[in-house]
Structure 1
Amino acid sequence: MLTLNVAVLLAVVVFFRLRRRTQARRRNEERATAVIILALGVVLAPTAVGQGILDILGQLASGVTQASR
């Protein structure tokens, strides 16, 4: 349960960081955002929600691959 709460907190932080205008960001801010998104992925991956997202993305990727043939 704690893992999911941390994931929700990181998702909120990512949402607010990405709402800012791109021109106003500095390189350090972009790096911090990338690290936060990476941490969100690491925290979310072992949960049931993360596995569901992985399954959906896998189905989407296989659908795109089959459609391009």
Structure 2
Amino acid sequence: MQYTISATAFLAILIVIRLRRRTEARSRTDEVFTVFTAVVFGVLIAATSLGHAILQLVGAAVEATH
């Protein structure tokens, strides 16, 4: 049996683990890496149907506040 994991799922897990750490314990390099990982995650998820649903939800929230 062979298991696979998508890059998006791996990045989501990595982001959650990294964000659970205390802020005081992070170096500047750690913060940059976390931001870079989050941006890559956003780019990967943007092309999926989930990404489009999130975009529509955020768009509706923005329209409701104006």
* Fold similarity call, TM over 0.5: yes
Deviations 1:22-60 (A, max 9, x none): 000000000000000000011000110100100000001
Length, aligned pairs only: 62
Paired-residue identity, % = 34
TM-score by length of 1: 0.85
The one-letter amino acid of 2:13's match is V
Partner residue of 1:18?
19
TM-score by length of 2: 0.88
Structure 2 unaligned spans of 5+: none
RMSD over aligned Cα atoms: 1.3
Structure 1 unaligned spans of 5+: none
